[in-house]
Amino acid sequence: MRDAQIVEAVLFASDAPLGPEEIARADDTLDEDSVEAAVRALRAEYLESDRAFEIVRIAGGYQLLTRPEYAPYLDRFDTIPRPTRLSGPALEALAIIAYRQPIGRVEIEYIRGVGSTGVIRTLQDRGLVAVVGRGEGIGRPLLYGTTPQFLEHFGFDSIDDLPRPETLPVILKEPSESAFRAEDSQSASGAGPVARISPG
Amino acid sequence: MHAPSSSAEPGMFIVEIDDFEGPLDLLLHLIREQDIDVVDIPVSRITRQFLEVIEALDLDSAGEFLEMAATLVRIKAQLLLPRPAGEPGEDPRAELVRRLLEYEQVRVVSHRLRSAEAERIRRLAKGFFPLRPAPRAEEAPLETTWDELLVAAVGVAVQGGDERGHHVPRLLVSLEEKVDLILAALEEARRVEFGRLVRSSPGRVHGVMTLLAGLELSRERRVRLRQSRYFHELWICRPEAEDNRARGDEQSAVGSEP
């Protein structure tokens, strides 16, 4: 029996992405390298024989997924479960959490300019974000971060698949730096005629 | 200047608030629509336009918009104030500009997430196919008459109409009644056990009203309440009985137990 067939069987039977180290557990002869080699072989095979599915790298693992061009046919089956799309506000909050994690609710709301309790709850219920710790400061606020399901939902392999912060004009990465500070007033204390709205 | 509607005054914007995720979104929209340099916002004009937009709002749902309006007005005022000469200060708009740029980034990223999501949804994992529901039967034409419908409706209403309400009878127990009860008991004896008064008419309402009556009389100094220790029998005494309290343990006040 070929390594590739074992790997294929595991991928076929799984309904979530599996990392190479997990797939390797299928047999003592397998290790991460041989799993990767088997995946490469299977990919070539699928491409060659023009299969309707392919092995996709998602959330640090591999998963068998249908190719996008078959979506119109599958769309006709309203019984096929598929994830529902997120609302605009949910995507906003998720974008903030993804870049700034770990981050608390108050900070999220300050960046969005609107209350976000419900939206965060929705993201939690869908397993896309989770509480990852508590912050310093008053009340030790809950801090949120993204989960592996977040990567799965968007088809990302890792958080690095998000647009690189360097490619974004400013700020998302740097919480409290003002790009427009007058040269002589470097203090971030908010003293002076600063239009500072305190979070919360 | 951009004016989407011909009926609009120059510089006035017609916007649907539902189109905006929040005040920053609206602000950004006003700025971008007019090709305004975000680091040099004409605060006066933007504030006026912003207020025009939120004026059309139901204020209850617009707290965040109002907060932003207040911020704009404050920045406008700060810009008007003369700044001490030679004293370098931050542009009052700086924090707002920073927030706007940051929010714009959030919008960019969430749009990218949106398209990543759309791409991902086009790929399906090996899923569980539940049995398809049987094809829907042809829609039968409605052959029921209004009379039949009425009978059916009335029939249901009669069947289920009874026994549905849950009636909570209001117990009429007056404070005065209990005050009289206590005073009458104290006519006969110098002191009376609270428990005995309550046992004469069981029920929580009676107990509560008797206690309230006792407290009221005590406040008016017409009776004295005595209890030897917590959760022990409560005694209601004539006021002059105070002099005799050394006689019985049960008459010593709470807190002075041995």
Q: According to the 3-state scheme, what is the secondary structure of B33-80? A: HCCCCHHHCCHHHHHHHHHHHHHCCCHHHCHHHHHHHHHHHHHHHHHH
Query: Would you say residue A120 lies in a domain?
Result: yes
Helix, strand, coil percentages, rounded to 5, for chain A:
40, 15, 45
Q: Average pLDDT, stretch B141-163?
A: 60
Reply yes or no on whether the pLDDT at B149 is more than 70. Answer: no
Q: What share of chain A in percent tops pLDDT 90?
A: 61
* Residue spans of alpha helices (H) in A101-185: 105-112, 117-125, 148-154
What is the interface pTM, i.e. ipTM, of the complex?
Answer: 0.77
Query: Would you say residue A196 lies in a domain?
Result: no
- Pull the structure tokens for residue A105: 């609710």
What integer pLDDT is reported at residue A102 of this predicted model? Answer: 92
φ/ψ of B24, rounded to 5, equals -65, -40
- What is the average pLDDT value for chain A, to the nearest integer? 82
| A to B CB pairs, distance under 8 Å | 174
For residue B131, give the chain A residue with the closest CA.
Answer: A79
* Yes or no, beta carbons of A172 and B113 under 8 Å apart: no
What integer pLDDT is reported at residue A120 of this predicted model? Answer: 96
Which of B45-49, B230-234, B251-255 is most confident?
B45-49
Nearest chain A CA: its distance from B118 CA (Å):
8
* Yes or no, beta carbons of A155 and B123 under 8 Å apart: yes
Q: Which of A74, A108, A134 is the last residue of a domain?
A: A74
Q: Is B221 exposed, middle or buried (0-12, 13-18, 19+ CB in 10 A)?
A: exposed
Report the CATH superfamily, name and number, of domain B175-251.
Structural maintenance of chromosome 1. Chain E (1.10.10.580)
Within this chain, do residues A128 and A155 fall inside the same structural domain, yes or no? yes
Distance CA B196, CA B179 (A): 15
Distance CA B209, CA B181 (A): 11
What integer pLDDT is reported at residue B5 of this predicted model? Answer: 41
Query: Would you say residue A11 lies in a domain?
Result: yes
pLDDT in tens, B174-228: 888 888 888 888 888 888 888 888 887 777 788 888 888 888 888 888 888 888 7
Distance CA B89, CA A181 (A): 8
Q: Which domain holds residue A57?
A: 3-74
CA-CA-CA-CA torsion sign (A14, A15, A21, A22): negative
Query: Would you say residue A113 lies in a domain?
Result: yes
Within this chain, do residues A62 and A100 fall inside the same structural domain, yes or no? no
Total tally of structural domains belonging to chain A = 2
pLDDT in tens, A99-154: 998 999 999 999 999 899 999 999 999 999 999 999 888 889 999 999 999 999 99
Q: Average pLDDT, stretch B228-241?
A: 77
Domain ranges of chain B: 17-81+91-116, 175-251
| Chain A CB within 8 Å of residue B119 CB | yes
What integer pLDDT is reported at residue A145 of this predicted model? Answer: 95
Reply yes or no on whether the pLDDT at B250 is more than 50. Answer: no
- Pull the structure tokens for residue B131: 């049995």
Within this chain, do residues A95 and A68 fall inside the same structural domain, yes or no? no
Query: Would you say residue A190 lies in a domain?
Result: no
* Yes or no, beta carbons of B110 and A94 under 8 Å apart: yes
pLDDT in tens, A156-176: 999 888 877 666 655 554 443
Within this chain, do residues A155 and A125 fall inside the same structural domain, yes or no? yes
**Residue from A79, A85, A114 to probe the interface with B (highest B Cβ count within 10 Å):** A114
Within this chain, do residues A70 and A92 fall inside the same structural domain, yes or no? no
Which of A174-183, B22-31, B58-67 is most confident?
B22-31
